[in-house]
Amino acid sequence: MPYYLVMFFLTILGLVLQSTLLSEYTVAGVKPDLLLILVIFNCIFHGPYQGSLFGFFVGLLEDLYLGHFIGLNALTKGLTSFLGGWLLKGAFRENLLIPVLALFFGTLFNGTMVFILGKIAGINWALDFFYWKLLPVAIFNTCLVPFIYFGYYHWVNQDMEQQSL
């Protein structure tokens, strides 16, 4: 099955899970951002251009699903994955530290962008957004990396090998 088709289904699954199961089991009042995890994993393997394109569409899908401030997640996720892909170009992907750091700082960057763009769009967020929302989400996302990354890593490598054959 083509890689991006699977990623699309995973995105839909992430959307569904975030609005159902994960909303029931929040930790410190927050839930992980599964779509951001997908987007950052993708940019680690596919670089800034494909990564930002995928990030933009995943964000747009999320925005369309939410129905308001359309473009907020599209722009932030696109930008985050572009930057992530650019910074991690040639990084040693087998090292778990790479996705861990990428997820932690990626989430912080993405959240900061959301905060700035949201402020511009007129959302009334206070600065404690960073302590009570962003930091817990970053930690939560990072904690999930060891459980997801290796599965994703093997699947992407297999897919790349098949494509190269």
Choose the stretch contacting other proteins; rule: CB under 8 A; options: 29-37, 61-69, 92-100, 135-143: 61-69
Among 70, 101, 135, 143, binds other proteins (CB under 8 A): 70
Q: Which of residues 99-138 bind other proteins (CB under 8 A)?
A: 117, 120-123
Part in contact with other proteins (CB under 8 A); list of ranges 14-22, 26-34, 87-95, 102-110: 14-22
Give the residue with the Cβ less far from other proteins, 5 or 120.
120
Tokens of 115: 């905060």
Environment class of residue 5 by beta-carbon count within 10 Å: exposed (0-12), middle (13-18) or buried (19+)?
exposed
Residue 97 binds other proteins (CB under 8 A): no
Going 146 to 36 to 33 to 62, the CA torsion angle's sign is negative
What is the per-residue binding string for other proteins in 15-54, x denoting contact by CB under 8 A? xxx-xxx--x------------------------------
- For residue 37 the two structure tokens come to 């995890």
13 vs 160 by CB, closer to other proteins: 13
Q: What's the closest the beta carbon of residue 154 comes to other proteins, in angstroms?
A: 26
The dihedral of CA 73, 62, 141, 81: what is its sign?
A: negative
| DSSP-based three-state secondary structure for 27 | strand
Q: Quick one: 20 or 162, whose CB is closer to other proteins?
A: 20
In the chain, the DSSP E strands lie at: none
What gap in Å lies between CA 45 and CA 157, rounded to an integer?
A: 9
Q: Which two tokens stand for residue 143?
A: 């904690």
Q: State the burial class of residue 83 (Cβ atoms within 10 Å of its Cβ: 0-12, 13-18, 19+).
A: buried
In the complex, the smallest distance separating the C-beta of residue 157 from other proteins, rounded to whole angstroms, is 27
Residues lying near other proteins in the complex (CB under 8 A): 12-13, 15-17, 19-21, 24, 56, 60-61, 63-72, 74-75, 117, 120-123
